[in-house]
Amino acid sequence: MRFSSSLHSPPGTESRSSPQDPEKAQSTTTASAGVSCTTSDKVSNSQKEEGKSTSEATLSTDDSCEDPLTGKVGLLEQFLLYKYEMKQRITKEDMLKVVNQKYKNEFAEIFKRACEHLADVFVVDVREVDSTSHSYNLVSKLKLPNNGRIRAGRGLPKAGLLMNVLGMIFMKGDCASEEDIWRFLKMMHVYPGKKHFIYGEPKKLITKDLVRLKYLVYRQVVNSDPPRHEFLWGPRAHAETSKMQVLEFLAKINETAPSFFPTLYEEALKDEERKIPNHGCNQPPALH
């Protein structure tokens, strides 16, 4: 199992000019929406030697990295995602082996940053499950089946793709055409009919699985000839997340604040006023 520290790419290199409407917001968020694949795309390469134990893992380093902790954060993220995919427990001892014992004093900061980035991009929390053995699990923030994998067996989290689709629907005035959705997802190298190593067959995922689970509504446009389809938020999306949380997701992968998108931010605030807050802030678990 091989991890490369050069794989942790910071999101958001796009222009910082403030968009005033959803169309401009779309062009901004699209530029970095694909960050959800940045770290995880490399995890698959690390599995070629999965027969080796964590303690035997060979770690390559990137001397060009200006901040050595950034490289270690990337290594730890890959390791956590690998353990999630393989449905294996995560221990502090193994995490220290991955980042190197000489970074023991900096481990709390490395762990915190890795947890925050996984939460921001993959919509998963790192939670302590056993304080005695200091073991952890990655848990999907949304109540998707099989802890965010949706389908049975092993796999990587799908909630990041769902949040991107929900964001596009929000930006398009709460209803996005199928053409707009695929145009957006292609910026993330996600194509209909082409199997993706994280999401599987994307068209089935968003038009069948997430519709069946009531996170998305996929319907034919009235009187369209030839038939065209559009997406809306499903009832479970409304119940488990909010426009503000989706906007925060888009803002974080752009390294900005929700207010950077003023029109969307105003709508998200109105949506919050119509709801009773029922989501607390998730913090990385305490280290012992």
Please give the tally of structural domains in the chain: 2
Which pLDDT does position 30 carry in this prediction?
40
Exposed, middle or buried by CB within 10 Å (0-12, 13-18, 19+), for 205? Answer: buried
With a CB cutoff of 8 Å and minimum separation 6, the contacts of 107 are 95, 96, 99, 287
pLDDT above 60: residue 49? no
Whether 111 and 173 map to the same domain: the answer is: no
141-146 average pLDDT score: 92
The residue range of the domain holding 247 is 159-273
What dihedral do alpha carbons 155, 33, 75, 159 form, nearest 10°?
-30
Which pLDDT does position 12 carry in this prediction?
35
CATH number at residue 172: 1.10.10.1210
Which pLDDT does position 183 carry in this prediction?
96
30-50 average pLDDT score: 39
In sign, the C-alpha dihedral spanning 98, 104, 105, 109 is positive
Which pLDDT does position 51 carry in this prediction?
36
Model pTM? 0.72
Which pLDDT does position 46 carry in this prediction?
39
What dihedral do alpha carbons 9, 13, 16, 22 form, nearest 10°?
-90
Which pLDDT does position 180 carry in this prediction?
97
Whether 82 and 189 map to the same domain: the answer is: no
The answer to whether residue 94 is domain-embedded is yes
Which pLDDT does position 18 carry in this prediction?
44
Summarised one tens digit per residue, pLDDT across range 228-265 is: 999 999 999 999 999 999 999 999 888 899 999 999 99
Which pLDDT does position 258 carry in this prediction?
94
pLDDT above 70: residue 279? no
Residues linked to residue 136 through DSSP beta bridges, in sequence order: 90, 128
Whether 69 and 179 map to the same domain: the answer is: no
The answer to whether residue 148 is domain-embedded is no
Q: Greater confidence, 12 or 177?
A: 177
The answer to whether residue 147 is domain-embedded is no
Whether 200 and 257 map to the same domain: the answer is: yes
Q: Considering just the CA atoms, what is the radius of gyration of the chain in Å?
A: 19
Rounded percentage of the chain residues whose pLDDT exceeds 90: 62
| Mean pLDDT score across all residues of the chain | 80
